[in-house]
Structure 1
Amino acid sequence: MITLQGFSRACADCQLQDLCLPIGICRSDVARLDQIINRKRPLQRGAALFNQGDQFGALYAIRSGSIKSFSISDDGREQINAFHLPGEILGLDAISDSSHPSSAVALETTSVCELPFERLHALAHEIKDLQHQLLRVMSRELNADERFMRILASRNAEERLAGFLLNLSSRHGMRGYSSTEFNLSMSRHDIANYLGLAVETVSRLFTRFQQDGLIEAQRKAVKILQREALAEMAGNTGPDPNQDDSRNRESS
């Protein structure tokens, strides 16, 4: 069997081991998976990974950086559907129709792994542990997005922003990063678009959250000071990732 430490250096610092290194997969099967992965050249801020209407051919796993996905309405307006962080997968919504219903653009310098879908699908049929893990990861990504969008639909402005910050906090913590201190790679305008709020409302709420001692925010840097108070405000939208924080501090 193979461990993360024994795998290629390209994957040693990657957050995708739950997909690429499913429990029980043997060294030879990991090598087969590694052969189909295309580690693309890093995308610069503003560069498109794919565009709305492009033919579907691969899934994309983020190694570092972040990406926003959005669709353009008939009247030309942009609607942001999701923000994607390291360890997350894009392209799942294109499988059924074989074309991308949204565009994906890098919010900062971003590295991705391209997983050609037909080759991945064929390999998953041969490697049962990979098939199980792939389905689990896909289900987790889709369920998380759907659950959070349902939460947003029933919340007021401050509850939406609190829930958004807690959602990012939990996602960072799950991947071994700090859940209390992180950068917002997206602009206030993008956050407002995603949450269905006015930019002025988002800016005002950030200021209020700071004045109330819930967070510290300096430009893109955010520090969560009172997670429990944010969770109460948001209706407890996410798990407490403090255990992840402890692990992260111990390893640093």
Structure 2
Amino acid sequence: MTQYTAAASDLTSAQPAPASLSKPAAEQDASSRCGSCSMHQLCLPTGLGEADMARLDRIIGRRRKVARDSHLYRVGDPFTNLYAIRLGHFKTMQIHPNGDQQVTGFQMAGELLGMDAISTERHQCNAVALEDSEVCEIPFSRLEGLFVEMPALLHHFHRMMSQEITREQGVMLLLGNMRAEQRFAAFLTNLSSRYSARGYSPAAFQLRMTREEIGNYLGLTIESISRLLSKFKKQGWIKVNNRELELLDQPTLKAVAAGTRSCG
């Protein structure tokens, strides 16, 4: 459980957007450049010089807005781009043979979407916006060309892929061996760590996903999620008002997630 929490904290057919022309970096508005984005320290390796940042700016295709509940891509779509989330939240889902959907992750600003398709050149999951969101399109063929010129970028990309593999292994552990209260506590502490890494409050945030989506991800029913929210609230560990959540006792929640403390 400790491995899952730590790893996750480091951190995941398309409807066409209006056509737009990519501008050279020199003509882009300053606020649209990678170096001016508030999330660039999460998306990109540290220590890149101005010349390297300019190279990145030249390959970014466009910013793309994705409305709430709209697909960024679907299972089977051809792979052309990676997507750096600039604003908003997404969920990824896979489809079972019987047609049921399984939520496989929740992604937020500063994280990449689309790495699932690199090996097969077809997307293996659906990516859906949980709220009105915005992504930066990164043509993968052009990004590969930059890897030769910028070894630090290639190393950073490998690091992100390794984190994704570790995250998936953590989810398997989460669903396979943990009690319901551990799963939910791990989910909350994971969100806390990720928001903290983005400069937001680690203790007070809004749940962008529904209780049903959380339950689907954790392998629990919506009734179980509601019961756990009530139990954690009664214990004085959290405060909840609709989707507004406040973590009142983070050390205890981490202990529950690690299996060294129970709800009693």
Q: Report the counterpart of residue 84 of structure 2 in structure 1.
A: 61
Deviation at 1:212, TM superposition (A): 1.0
Q: Report the counterpart of residue 160 of structure 1 in structure 2.
A: 183
| Separation in structure 2 between the aligned mates of residue 58 and residue 41 of structure 1, nearest angstrom | 12
| Separation in structure 1 between the aligned mates of residue 118 and residue 52 of structure 2, nearest angstrom | 24
- Aligned residue for 2:136, secondary structure, equals strand
- Aligned residue for 1:134, secondary structure, equals helix
Q: Report the counterpart of residue 55 of structure 2 in structure 1.
A: 32
TM-score (norm. length: structure 2): 0.82
Deviation at 1:123, TM superposition (A): 0.9
Cα RMSD of the aligned pairs, angstroms, is 1.8
Deviation at 1:236, TM superposition (A): 6.8
Identity %: 42
Aligned to 1:9, which of 31, 34, 37?
31
Aligned to 2:203, which of 176, 180, 198?
180
Deviation at 1:40, TM superposition (A): 2.6
| Separation in structure 2 between the aligned mates of residue 15 and residue 201 of structure 1, nearest angstrom | 35
Unaligned runs of 5+ in 1: 1-6, 238-252
- The answer to whether the 8 Å contact 1:16/1:61 transfers is no
Q: Report the counterpart of residue 248 of structure 1 in structure 2.
A: none
- Aligned residue for 1:42, secondary structure, equals strand
Aligned to 1:138, which of 161, 172, 176?
161
Q: Deviations over 1:181-235 (max 9, x none)?
A: 1111000000010000111011111111111111011111111000111111111
- Aligned residue for 2:72, secondary structure, equals strand
- Letter of the 1:16 partner, please give it: H
Aligned to 2:75, which of 38, 52, 63?
52
TM-score (norm. length: structure 1): 0.86
After superposition, where does 1:74-113 map in structure 2 within 5 Å? 74-113=97-136
Asked if 1:41 corresponds to 2:70, the answer is no
Unaligned runs of 5+ in 2: 1-28
- Letter of the 2:88 partner, please give it: G
- Aligned residue for 2:84, secondary structure, equals strand
| Separation in structure 1 between the aligned mates of residue 40 and residue 168 of structure 2, nearest angstrom | 18
Q: Structure with the greater relative contact order (CA < 8 A, sep ≥ 6): 1 or 2?
A: 2
- Letter of the 2:31 partner, please give it: R
Number of residues of Structure 1 aligned to a counterpart in Structure 2: 230
Asked if 1:19 corresponds to 2:39, the answer is no
